[in-house]
């Protein structure tokens, strides 16, 4: 199909007369407006999601723990995810029994286990190091594809993998020099979180085509919400909810601005500009985490951490450009 044919179809969809294909869309054309809004939504989603680590670190300062903070976060987000699932399923075919169990497993891995390990790890490491480790997820997806499915990795991508892990090692060394005997433990917990989410991404590849992205995300997040609340009920007494008002304000912010908003923003961005460009814009996430951690947490930022951040972002950028 030629560019002129595409413009004719767009014109018919918009009920306007087709015109000759220009070199680039006019400044106020629907395509240009959609592209701009998609870029803004992708950036907003990345920045909002990066604030999650900042809020968790602030919650720890008020005496809350990982189990409680995670339960409060999902308690806020659960109603929205349930509504999303109901909306996405209103005209969809019923799920097969096997797909239901797959969604339960994916919800456990991608939104419950990954979140819990992440929250637990943040008790020991800086928000910047946490974001860099989580940003290794695309590299883990590539490695899982290589080991489990024999998917080929080019030499360029292999070098990018090594560069990414060298960058994390630099940031890890920076935190280790600042003291704290549990830096290795916290890093291992967050790396486990990245691995759990990578397994979710690999496992959701085929299922998302049958279920739909919105429906799968809503269902899996709802499963995780129930698991987080059950975990709190089993491991904590009710008086664990006697917390300062600041913790509840932070949890409200975490459940809305840093959980629901990024999910919706990224979905809308992908619909406008595609998943590849949206993921590239998402690279602003580690940078925003660094800025927020310096402003709100007074976390130190040394040259090794800067160098590590640059290496991780460069390596992940190359790996994430791998064609499926």
pLDDT of residue 32: 61
pLDDT of residue 14: 33
User: Over its length of 324 residues, how does the chain's per-residue pLDDT go in tens digits?
Assistant: 433 443 343 333 333 333 344 444 555 555 566 677 888 888 888 888 888 999 999 999 999 999 999 999 999 999 999 999 999 888 888 888 998 999 999 999 988 999 999 999 999 988 888 888 888 888 888 888 888 777 777 788 788 888 888 888 888 887 777 766 688 899 999 999 999 998 988 888 778 888 888 888 899 999 999 999 999 999 999 999 999 999 999 999 999 999 999 888 888 887 787 766 776 777 777 778 888 888 888 887 777 778 888 888 787 777 766 554
Dist. CA 260–CA 282, nearest whole Å: 16
pLDDT of residue 16: 38
* Per-domain residue ranges of the chain: 48-320
3-state SS track over the chain? CCHHHHHHHHHHHHCCCCCCCCCCCCCCCHHHHHHHHHHHHHHHHHHHHHHHHHHHHHHHHCCCCHHHHHHHHHHHHHHHHHHHHHHHCCCCCCCCHHHHHHHHHHHHHHHHHHHHHHHHHCCCCCHHHHHHHHCCHHHHHHHHHHHHHCCCCCHHHHHHHHHHHHHHHHHHHHHHHCCCCCHHHHHHHHHHHHHHHHHHHHHHHHHHHHHCHHHHHHHHHHHHHHHHHHHHHHHCCHHHHCCCHHHHHHHHHHHHHHHHHHHHHHHHHHHHHCHHHHHHHCCHHHHHHHHHHHHHCCCCCCHHHHHHHHHHHHHHHHHHCCCC
Whether the pTM exceeds 0.85: the reply is no
């Amino acid at each position: 199909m030629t560019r002129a044919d595409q413009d004719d179809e767009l014109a018919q969809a918009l009920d306007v007369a087709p015109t000759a294909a220009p070199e680039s869309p006019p400044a106020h054309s629907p395509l240009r407006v959609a592209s701009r809004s998609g870029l803004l939504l992708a950036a907003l989603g990345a920045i909002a999601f990066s604030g999650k680590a900042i809020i968790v670190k602030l919650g720890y300062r008020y005496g809350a723990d990982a189990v409680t903070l995670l339960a409060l976060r999902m308690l806020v987000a659960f109603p929205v995810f349930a509504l999303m699932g109901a909306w996405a399923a209103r005209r969809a075919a019923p799920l097969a029994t096997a797909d239901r169990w797959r969604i339960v497993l994916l919800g456990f891995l991608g939104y419950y286990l990954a979140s819990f390990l992440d929250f637990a790890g943040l008790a020991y490491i800086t928000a910047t190091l946490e974001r860099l480790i989580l940003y290794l997820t695309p590299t883990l997806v590539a490695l899982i594809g290589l080991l489990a499915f024999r998917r080929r990795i080019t030499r360029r991508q292999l070098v990018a993998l090594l560069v990414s892990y060298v960058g994390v090692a630099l940031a890890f060394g920076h935190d280790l020099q600042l003291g704290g005997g549990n830096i290795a433990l916290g890093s291992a917990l967050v790396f486990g979180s990245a691995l759990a989410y990578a397994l979710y991404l690999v496992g959701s590849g085929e299922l998302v085509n049958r279920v739909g992205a919105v429906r799968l995300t809503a269902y899996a997040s709802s499963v995780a919400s129930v698991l987080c609340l059950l975990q709190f009920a089993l491991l904590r007494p009710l008086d664990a909810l006697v917390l300062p008002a600041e913790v509840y304000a932070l949890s409200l912010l975490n459940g809305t601005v840093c959980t629901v908003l990024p999910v919706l923003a990224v979905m809308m961005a992908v619909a406008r500009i595609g998943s590849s460009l949206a993921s590239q814009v998402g690279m602003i996430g580690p940078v925003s985490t660094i800025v927020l951690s310096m402003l709100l947490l007074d976390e130190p930022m040394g040259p090794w951490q800067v160098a590590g951040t640059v290496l991780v972002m460069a390596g992940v950028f190359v790996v994430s450009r791998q064609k499926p």
